[in-house]
Every structure is written in structure tokens, then in C-alpha cells.
Amino acid sequence: MEPSAAAPELPDLLPSTVRRPMWQRALCVLGAVVCFVLGVVGWLIPFVTGIPFYAASLILLGMASGRVAGWVNRLDRRLPRGVRVQLRRWSGRAAKS
């Protein structure tokens, strides 16, 4: 039996069908800008890493825009299954068995 045949399909990391009110989308964009600036600061200052801020910025933009959420989900499907499962554990969106 193949492992991929028995494994359930994983849900999208960021749901692109959720329609948020304008004020929530504006807060997500503002948070994404702040995280991006902190990521740049982390890139300039060697003892602060910027990668988590870039990831948070991308997730916040995905929450504000269906197009960005679709892009994140397409990139997520390219990752190995173990990494995808771990991302869902961290985000609380584990596949229902």
C-alpha cells in the first residue's frame, strides 16, 4: 500500500474563501507592513533574525487578500508532506482523519 494513497488530503494553509470586513483586512495589511519593516530591521541588525517577520507578513497579507492566500497555498503544495503536516500542527489546521 502506498503511503500517499492512505494519507488524507491536507486542507489549505490559508483559506482563500473567507471574506473579511474591510477594517479587519486593513488591520492585516497594517500588521503585514509592520512585520515587513521588522524583517528589514532584522536583516540589517545581525543578532535579530528577519525571516519569522517575513513569514508573518506573508500570512497577514494572505488573510487580507484572496489572491495572496491562493499564492501561499500553491507554494505550500510544493513542500514535502512532512513539512506541510508540521505547518498545520503549528497553525492548528490539522487534517481531520
Model pLDDT for residues 45-64, shown as the tens digit of each residue: 877 788 888 888 988 998 88
CA distance 61 to 42: 19
Residue 4, in any domain of the structure: no
Residue 1, in any domain of the structure: no
Amino acid 66: pLDDT: 86
How confident is the model over 65-92, as pLDDT tens digits? Answer: 888 888 888 888 898 988 888 888 877 6
Write out the residue range of the structural domain in which residue 81 sits: 21-87
CA distance 7 to 76: 17
DSSP state for residue 39 in the 8-state scheme: H
Whole-structure pTM value:
0.69
How many domains is the chain partitioned into structurally? 1
